[in-house]
Structure 1
């Protein structure tokens, strides 16, 4: 370390705790401002049951992409670029070529991003040829560059080759897991009602574990700490002699030494909606982490001379010239890779009628050609999720009488879905929104006693599971439990290990895979009590149809098709479900959407608003199982008899499309047979049941004509949009401020988990252990894991996800798009900062929105 000089002073630090004066209001203000910055920079992580992709860079997106990297590397080892060897491998494999490198160089020369001369394309190619060895994931994680600011424990480890930072992380994990436990622990924390800091202080003052490891005097130090987190932070910072000018940077360094728990307490703070940074658990976590550093300084007589930084506010550091050159070279190659993908996509989208990849199913399309051509058999609305692209394409290839649409998978319904017998439910909306309506699950049966019977049955089942768990985990009962029931578990264990059963675990909440699902359905009952009138329901219906672009030419069947995954023994299962539904299956939203639009009173109200739905149009709900690619439909018994034949035909088409989709997926999932692919849904040892959204790289906002029959390889979000029906750009603004942002977050989560799995991913899935019922650890300790596991990004031999920033293609005039960008600063920051790219498709030409806010015509390249 440059600032932790070899001649650093080693002495017993004076007891600065007693010198701290709580009345020093300016110090409280200083620490409060520093905490606000830390809270802004840290992105939250959701609990496992609601796990969704989050942009880890969201808090610094007002900075440019490269500036954000330099900022992060002041106080952390975070990375947002792949190593040179990765780009060299892409170059050798033909992902991009010399023309794309030249285009990237020319583009970046015009932006003045670098103060150093930019190498020519020829020089870059020569360098790429000289890099022969691809970098491994392990090697990449080891490539930690020196940085200006480190925690004291990191400095001491660097000096003595110790592992104090690891021990401190384990201790913090122990206390946080205990404090936030949601029923996993056999013995709960007696201090759970306290704040995180108070809970930790109450326990740590008696816990001798760190003293056993050599941190002498730790309990005594904790006992002398102030009783509030903010006072404790100031006391520890003064004990460490950290000057106030460096507090912000040093707190960021502390937070990024435990990024998982920092993300978790950020989530807790957001849920509690506490505005005062000193009154949330992030302050408590920082007080805990600082206390370990301060106690370590006293115990080991180790102190750092911070005078080199004392005069700088804000702290400003610069990369070395070599580091800047390396960084800019990698950024240039990232851009070349993105240009290559962009041009391949535009070469298809620009002339959709000439780009069909799907010809093998023409005989199937002929088989279903009995429907009159003037009206579609079915219009099917899918989520914009990239996995929907494949099944939509297959449906349209099987039958020309199927029309598909792309829409945010919650279908514009801000609902919380409460299951039968529960008091609260799941938030079925994107993380950017809050539910406004509670929808309750109800029983549809002629038996008046069935509902009460099912409620009692479910309550009894919960009680028995709790008792069973207590028997298995109690200190007294666990040994006789194993002796008594061990053999009985043998068959079940064998079945689950070989994937020979398709029955899911009892804890699986998905409606499709549970008993009695055929009589359970979301209900519109109870909306009056919430103040939801027919007018409000009509508002929802109108908004759905207008934002979808479906206000006329309705087919006989209109299907709202949500999506969900089916996996076993997967703590991160919610990450494979619908992100627009808060990490849950989109089934409830699809069923409620269909119910609302089948209401006669709603249809009459829509007529007065200019939307006439034919009397022979029936709305149906469906679910796309993204693991098996099956399509299932709900409330089929409620479909009018006049539409039975239509529904039967649709189901038959769906079966063909599902089969074709599975065949297409088999090579990428490395499934030798169809049976093997289906097995993955029930195999509890399977680490790659499906690829999720791996590979996502683009978002197309355009009529389906731009992408129909084009094989986009399940890498593109597709949102239906027709500017001809939206001259003022009102619908487009809704898309750009919500679905586009969600797609960007997903893209950045996959990007960050790939380029820096250590900080923004969750490591090796086979080592995951659930902690507290809300998160995962790798093994039995360490930091809370966030982001995506390595197996969701890499086949073991190569990357399944190519880390590219999202390319947004919008079929709309530039002036309309510009007005929306000017109106929303967050969108402007993302585009001018280089966090994503935006392209206007206008009059058979393509224009890219540049980081300086201008439009540049795209001249397509060929690899």
Structure 2
């Protein structure tokens, strides 16, 4: 490291004589972005997770300054919601009055509230037009009266500053270079030739190759000669060359990270996954800012930053009062200085961010009031089902489970529970015949055990050979496809078969998909399997296989406690995982579990059901007070969300009563599935519906490889309800709520509630804010139109061949059409059924959750034992 440089920068630029570690600045700056994993492991993420120590509005203002993006819904979206009746005028007035009370402006005759009401909906008044010269004269006169314009902090990279003053498009060139080098470095064997020297790191590899890049002019390549060998040293020297002061370093790094948050996020993700890449984000910034320095060096020194044009700002404030305050321009000089200051201050402070914040909060308040009217009702409690419960179902809290649970409960004497879809099992799974395992739990956690699927049947080896044949054909095709020479002859080899498949899948997608799948299953003939639940010793570097006897009991007890099923067991208990099915869909994993990186949770359901059936586990649970009757049998199934089907994956030998329950379930499932599909399918845009048969149409959407919207996923999610099923049973929540079972009577110390808040609620908030961000800033936090996306480097998608790596949801996941939205961008409302004291205890135990509530990242309400609703935000 260049110690002379460090000392110089410390002495000349920093407020105190401290050593500068550029990696510390990079780490702090990285909080403005989020790690972006490969799309094959798509997991919901909150784009602003590391900024929640600031309020939502503060982050909105900061991102507006740095990247010119608005993270509040646009005025058109809010206005449309108001016209649909989704924003109550009363709640707008309440929020507006609260804001005005904080300002204490001294204006006559209700002028402030009249101005704000008009500005909220941009209800412009007609005013007599004044010549530009007259408007300028009045603005100058107001400046002479010494009205001080607040100064806004601005953060701009040198490349952006030059773009504003010239037509050279430095930022576009810089971004293009970074996209190209990031694709090459991060490529997962899609490129015909791999980037040389990748093993040495991003900066070293780029440094050795950039001198040969024909896309870079010789003069720029010359400026990149003699770069330091170490990335951190190169980054510091580039910052020094750009004359970035000590106090501006973090802001400057943040601005560069937010220029391409997708590619920067992938670098951050890699740095967290692999020890050898721990400084990869520093290398990324070193490449970017060294390249920027080479591009902008001819323009240096840049002229001093211009201060905000006070006269133009005053003109806009004066015009806003003419538009929304019915104050003619020529009357300003007749006002007292006190009133002038009050009016200008109001117009300045009541900007678009404040207006959109008020409307969004009123929208959220309106939804909360509607939900309160549903679940605060006491009348339904008298409608208890007097028939004994035949079967109980534990579903994932996923919002898509709510309609299916409702239809299932209507169909018979069934009871449903909601819990996290991985069922509290910190496992890595390996299916039969596979050489690869994958984590099957939320990305919040790391797997602690591995569970293998195996078979002891004689025909297992032949099944394994057939499966290896399928894998070999698939892998060979991919290798030939991505190899430069073999890709030229691949069409000649596979042309006839692929042409036939193209025709079949294009004109008969449903029948072709079903035929191919059944043919493959019939040929593979998978034998019956078992799970490696008993502990097997492994090496210290590998996860242990299976569980000890104590661990079996612990995780079973924990799962039953979390779902609230510790007594009154039905003869049959079904643990329901969930997954989806779609064809040719880059976002297929986004339709599986939103928390678990695209893993479906059927395997976890089978593991838990098997553990619950073990005699030794039941004996230990009985000693703990959880008495499972001998006649009760646990089974496992998977809820396929694209087709609203419940598919059995584990049905052991049943007792007589369990067999009766199973037969009853089998009898009603087709109708339950049909009703759930009918309710769901009408919400899809009518333009994509081609059949009047809901079931057949759902199957087609899942099999059609041209379909951009096989299902809505978790769109329109808005609330997370933690409480007994009686709160919501028999009420249509429109597939907008995460439902987690909880009984505060059985949680004396608040441990269960704390676990729900720190785990499932956090994941639900990530899902909620990912849908929110992809709706309000689709060009930045979303991923654009599916039909124009390009799969790149085997890790993600771009728009075209040179865009940021797109980390969010596609347009089709949140919009009905180009003009009409589907997802309502509301921040998650958490509703807890518990006494006030329990919520206050939760705040004491979980300061992070309290911070989220106070800073507006999540909204909270509670229902006490008397049914009283309390809002905590």
* Interval of TM-score (by shorter of Structure 1 and Structure 2): 0.7 to 0.9
Q: Deviations over 1:481-522 (max 9, x none)?
A: 3244323322211222245246669999xx999954563564
Match of 1:446 among 443, 457, 460: 457
Q: How does 1:613-652 map to 2 (within 5 A)?
A: 613-636=628-651, 638-640=653-655, 643-652=658-667
Quote the offset at 1:189 in angstroms: 2.3
Task: Report the counterpart of residue 274 of structure 2 in structure 1.
Answer: 272
Match of 2:389 among 361, 372, 376: 376
Change (3 A) 1:227 1:731: same
Contact 1:757 1:763 in 2 (8 A): yes
Contact 2:643 2:677 in 1 (8 A): yes
Q: Deviations over 1:781-834 (max 9, x none)?
A: 111111111110001041110000111111101111111112222111101101
CA separation in 1, counterparts of 2:516 and 2:51?
38
Q: TM (normalized to structure 1)?
A: 0.85
Task: Report the counterpart of residue 9 of structure 1 in structure 2.
Answer: none
Quote the offset at 1:206 in angstroms: 1.9
Q: TM (normalized to structure 2)?
A: 0.84
Q: How does 1:805-816 map to 2 (within 5 A)?
A: 805-816=827-838
Change (3 A) 1:93 1:115: farther
1:494 aligns with 2:507: no
1:545 aligns with 2:560: yes
Contact 1:352 1:710 in 2 (8 A): no
Give the CA RMSD over aligned residues.
3.2
Task: Report the counterpart of residue 29 of structure 2 in structure 1.
Answer: 38
Q: Deviations over 1:25-71 (max 9, x none)?
A: 95972523321211222211221221111000111100011111122
Quote the offset at 1:849 in angstroms: 1.0
Contact 2:533 2:547 in 1 (8 A): no
CA separation in 1, counterparts of 2:388 and 2:740?
22
CA separation in 1, counterparts of 2:22 and 2:64?
22
Change (3 A) 1:635 1:83: closer
Q: How does 1:424-823 map to 2 (within 5 A)?
A: 424-443=436-455, 446-447=457-458, 450-498=459-507, 500-501=509-510, 515-516=524-525, 519-520=528-529, 522-527=531-536, 530=544, 532-636=547-651, 638-640=653-655, 643-670=658-685, 671=689, 672-673=691-692, 674=694, 675-796=696-817, 797-823=819-845
1:404 aligns with 2:419: no
Quote the offset at 1:645 in angstroms: 3.6
Quote the offset at 1:181 in angstroms: 1.9
Task: Report the counterpart of residue 860 of structure 2 in structure 1.
Answer: 838
Structure 1, unpaired ranges of 5+: 1-16, 133-145, 310-318, 360-364, 851-863
Contact 1:75 1:250 in 2 (8 A): no
Structure 2, unpaired ranges of 5+: 11-17, 126-151, 308-344, 539-543
Change (3 A) 1:176 1:123: closer
Task: Report the counterpart of residue 847 of structure 2 in structure 1.
Answer: 825
Task: Report the counterpart of residue 385 of structure 1 in structure 2.
Answer: 398
Match of 2:79 among 57, 78, 88: 88
SS, match of residue 121 in structure 2: helix
- Higher helix proportion (structure 1 or 2): 2
Match of 1:152 among 152, 155, 158: 158
Contact 1:355 1:710 in 2 (8 A): no
Quote the offset at 1:147 in angstroms: 8.1
Contact 2:460 2:527 in 1 (8 A): no
Match of 1:419 among 431, 444, 456: 431
Contact 1:242 1:306 in 2 (8 A): no
CA separation in 2, counterparts of 1:241 and 1:148?
17
Quote the offset at 1:683 in angstroms: 0.8
SS, match of residue 758 in structure 1: coil
Q: Deviations over 1:262-319 (max 9, x none)?
A: 1111111221368xxx951110111111022101112x4344346789xxxxxxxxx9
Q: Answer with 1 or 2: which has the greater Rg.
A: 2
Change (3 A) 1:835 1:756: same
Task: Report the counterpart of residue 120 of structure 1 in structure 2.
Answer: 113
Change (3 A) 1:588 1:476: same
Change (3 A) 1:200 1:532: same
Q: Deviations over 1:427-450 (max 9, x none)?
A: 11112111111011212x532xx3
Task: Report the counterpart of residue 141 of structure 1 in structure 2.
Answer: none
CA separation in 2, counterparts of 1:115 and 1:831?
32
Task: Report the counterpart of residue 295 of structure 2 in structure 1.
Answer: 296
Q: Deviations over 1:348-391 (max 9, x none)?
A: 000164599xx9xxxxx9xxx9xxx5531110000111111110
CA separation in 2, counterparts of 1:802 and 1:647?
39
Quote the offset at 1:536 in angstroms: 0.8
Contact 2:190 2:482 in 1 (8 A): no
SS, match of residue 777 in structure 1: strand
1:260 aligns with 2:262: yes
CA separation in 1, counterparts of 2:112 and 2:34?
35
Contact 2:185 2:202 in 1 (8 A): yes
Q: Deviations over 1:698-749 (max 9, x none)?
A: 1110100000011100001100011122232221111111111111111111
Quote the offset at 1:224 in angstroms: 1.6
Change (3 A) 1:287 1:640: same
CA separation in 2, counterparts of 1:326 and 1:456?
64
Change (3 A) 1:355 1:239: farther
Contact 1:225 1:235 in 2 (8 A): no
1:196 aligns with 2:202: yes
CA separation in 1, counterparts of 2:803 and 2:857?
31
SS, match of residue 703 in structure 2: coil
Change (3 A) 1:209 1:697: same
* The 10-residue stretch of structure 1 (467-476 or 554-563) with the greater mean CA deviation from structure 2: 467-476
Quote the offset at 1:452 in angstroms: 3.1
Quote the offset at 1:165 in angstroms: 2.2
SS, match of residue 740 in structure 2: strand
CA separation in 2, counterparts of 1:484 and 1:802?
49
1:206 aligns with 2:197: no
Quote the offset at 1:325 in angstroms: 2.1
SS, match of residue 581 in structure 1: coil
